[in-house]
Structure 1
Amino acid sequence: MSALEQVPADFLFALGTLRQARCRGELRLEEIPAPARLAPFAVALGAEVIAAGGPAGSRAAHGPASAAFEPASGSEDVELATGRFILLHDPDGSAVWDGEFRIVTYIRAQLEPEMGNDEMLGSVAWAWLVEALENHSAPYRSAGGTATRVLSESFGTLAERPNSIDIELRASWTPSSPDITSHLEAWSDMVCTFAGLPPLPDGVTSLPRRRRQP
């Protein structure tokens, strides 16, 4: 029996639905090594939102994105947010998951100091997750997560670096079916929200931004 024949049909179906997801053009998405000990079967995707500058008048909502999209003379890319999307599958099911599948995610983005000091930041981050899943009609249950603020201070030879505040969201939930398309689309929108990019109007598809010439 080949290795492919040993993969459960439900997991193969789920992988196919991931390939059908339509994610925003600002998101760079690629497959990365999946954790081996969390479930018998797993697939992992890594994502990052990179700004290479934008046209005049383009403005992001918060964080480094708010400055990165202003015209500038340099051509250096700016990382606005990163994340991981992991799909786990156990054919025998899991009482902890309340199902045979589990989605585990991680997102991190740098914020402006004013927003990073907001006591409601964790609640806002969780609300972004719930709203994204609802907006994409992604059915789920048994959701849980942790939002963390990370303050970075530099000393000694690095003392000139400005302090920064990052937001991290670790979350997981159980999809109601093996169709994961809407879940990946919801998560990709959430990564863009963390990056400070404004939501797209209904019916509008984002276009990749051109790299500025030095």
Structure 2
Amino acid sequence: MTWRPGLTTEEIGSPQRIAPHAIAISADLEGGDESLATGRLILLHDPAGNIAWGGTFRIVSYVRAEVDADMVTDSLLPEVAWSWLTDALANHGCVAGELAGTVTASYSVGFGEMTDSDRADVEVRSSWTPTLDEAHPLTPHLAAWQELMGMVAGQPALPPGVTTLPTGLA
């Protein structure tokens, strides 16, 4: 997989009791010297199939990013964040079923010694059953997850052939 600039991934431990085969990665999307989003993606495989999944593969995803405090109070944020996922899957031609998940918008306020630690976050937890075979590779699902990370971070991918200009030019 060719990841977008600023996105770093690494293989992490995967769940051992959910499926006979699993692989997991974690990712961080950085902009400049700050973390914009973090996530995990797990691919589960049970050759015998799993009734709850409706197939032999399952992708489990988690993406979280800090957002403006005004965003977490917007009642439309959960639906919009969920559409980022469904649109990303559609944009990359992913064949997926049994889509499920949650969107959490939270705001925390620090007190005492933590007065300056106010934080607003949006988190998208999801899972889906991908069709994976010779005609339907895993790569589009990875690209959709990468797009979701960018959307949650407020950094959608630029169209092909478009690059950002460096900041701080005078």
- TM-score, normalised relative to structure 1: 0.72
Amino acid at match of 1:145: G
Q: Distance in 2 between matches of 1:119 and 1:30?
A: 34
Tell me the distance in 1 between the aligned counterparts of 2:92 and 2:129: 15
In structure 1, what is the equivalent of residue 142 of structure 2?
A: 184
**Higher CA-based Rg:** 1
What does residue 161 of structure 2 align with?
204
Aligned to 2:120: 165
Are the equivalent residues in 2 in contact too, given 1:103–1:174 (CA < 8 A)? yes
Aligned pair partner of 2:4 in 21, 24, 34: 24
CA RMSD of aligned residues (A): 1.9
Match of 1:64 in 2: none
Q: Which amino acid aligns with 2:22?
A: A
- Report the Cα offset of residue 149 of structure 1: 1.2
Q: Which residue of 2 aligns with 1:142?
A: 98
Q: CA deviation at 1:150?
A: 1.9
Secondary structure of 1:196 counterpart? coil
Q: Using the TM superposition, name which of 170-179 and 119-128 deviates more.
A: 170-179
Task: Confirm or deny that 1:126 pairs with 2:82.
Answer: yes
Alignment of 1:51-62 (within 5 A): 51-52=31-32
CA distance in 2 between partners of 1:175 and 1:106 (Å): 16
Amino acid at match of 1:204: G
1:24, 1:206 within 8 Å by CA — same for their partners in 2?
no
- Structure 2 CA distance for partners of 1:92 and 1:205, relative to 1, 3 Å: farther
Runs of 4+ in 1 over 3 A off after TM superposition: none
Q: 2:50 maps to which residue? A: 94
Percent identity between matched residues is 42
Question: What residue ranges of structure 2 are gaps of 5+ in the alignment?
Answer: none
- With over 3 angstroms needed to count, the CA separation of the structure-2 counterparts of 1:157 and 1:145, relative to structure 1, is same
Deviation per CA, 1:61-100: give whole Å up to 9, x if none. Answer: xxxxxxxxxxxxxxxx211100001000001100100000
Amino acid at match of 1:163: D
Answer yes or no: is the 8 Å Cα contact 1:24–1:189 preserved in 2: no
**Where does the alignment leave 5 or more consecutive residues of structure 1 unmatched?**
1-20, 53-76
Letter matched to residue 188 of structure 1? Q
TM-score (norm 2): 0.90
- In structure 2, how many angstroms separate the alpha carbons of the residues matched to 1:94 and 1:40? 11
Deviation at 1:117, TM superposition (A): 1.1
- The alpha-carbon deviation at position 23 of structure 1 amounts to 2.2
Q: Would you tell me which structure has more strand in proportion to its own residues?
A: 2
Q: Which has the higher helix share?
A: 1
State the number of aligned residues: 164
- Shift in alpha-carbon separation, 1:176–1:27, aligned structure 2, 3 A: same
User: How big is the shift at 1:33?
Assistant: 0.9
1:98-122 CA-to-partner distances (Å, cap 9, x unmatched) read 0000000000001101112110111
- Greater relative contact order structure (CA < 8 Å, 6+ sep): 1
Q: Matches of 2:56 and 2:125 in 1, distance apart? A: 20
